[in-house]
Homo-oligomer: A and B are copies of this chain.
């Protein structure tokens, strides 16, 4: 590891394998489909580990991700950000040659544009899911809102079903709380699909997803697929929610100690917010991990050492309790590994992963960033 120039993004392949296998086995036991959200890793090798297969159904957050995965042979893709007319031509180009591309809408305007585009491109295989707002946290139509049927009718034959994302699960403070959010998530889409089917409208896809709800939900009845993303890597926010153990976190940022600030009890490293991201997702949790939890080169957390503050290419490492730093342990040039608050945000600051099996570097996997 000390041959790698810092900062760098380290991937522990064994942990990714384990995280992926657990989620696959859990959902398989419930007999519900898995459509991993590839926005976390943005990499085909990780997607294959998630699927346990060379290709499969996936969710993407950008059309660039869709292009990249189509180039790698993927043919069943859901683009899970609200569709706008300006992107429909691009979507139609992607949805040719046997690619089945799903989009999402929550307004009559967008639904009408999708229907018109699909009708104008007979070769394309575009379908649309109606986004349902199951917890008030972002977008979608609330269950019971008459606009659900209006949007479904505007979609015409492109209607594929309904979907929701229980983003509120990130704000829970207990496993029971997550289970309640999961129940609300499932009930919202199952009810909306039922309402459409009662009117004779096709709503075959019933899609839910968030790593916390997928981890703790005790029912997927009526759900056809689960979209989950961050579980492949896990992170400190997930650990704070009880979704994983700190030891499950598969990505870390490798940094070098570049200075000692003895009077301040700080180590300075070259892993600043550019390498860690500005994400402070644990700030609202019971244990605030600063900009990340500091581990030794083997990936074991070091007492209560955190990245207390960050500049662009500088991280300030301090003890959470304000106690004295053991400077002798961290010579200038020695390396530390920093576990991220939010794996999606931290990984996005990098263009590739240095992949390790144990202490052996085995590969370099690239990411498809941008739009």
Show the binding face of A for B, using Cβ within 8 Å: 2, 5-8, 39, 61-63, 81-87, 90, 106-107, 109-110, 113, 131, 133, 136, 138-140, 142, 167, 256-261, 263-264, 268, 270, 273-275, 277-280, 311-314, 316, 331-333, 344-345, 348-351, 369-371
Contact = CB atoms under 8 A, between A and B. Distances in A.
Q: Which of A2, A131, A275, A369 has the most CB of B within 10 A?
A: A369
A259 B107 contact: yes
B345 A278 contact: yes
B139 A268 contact: yes
Contacts of A110: 258-259, 332-333
A107 B332 contact: yes
A331 B109 contact: yes
Nearest to A37: B312
Contact of A270 (B81, B256, B257, B331): B81
A105 B115 CA distance: 62
A339 B288 CA distance: 29
A371 B82 contact: no
B138 A106 contact: no
What are the nearest 5 A-B pairs in CB distance? A82-B258, A278-B278, A84-B333, A109-B332, A85-B333
Contact of A256 (B61, B84, B273, B350): B84
Contacts of A268: 82, 138-139
Given A313-B81, A371-B5, A333 B278 contact: no
Contacts of A280: 278, 280
Given A81-B314, A259-B106, A332-B110, A86 B5 contact: yes
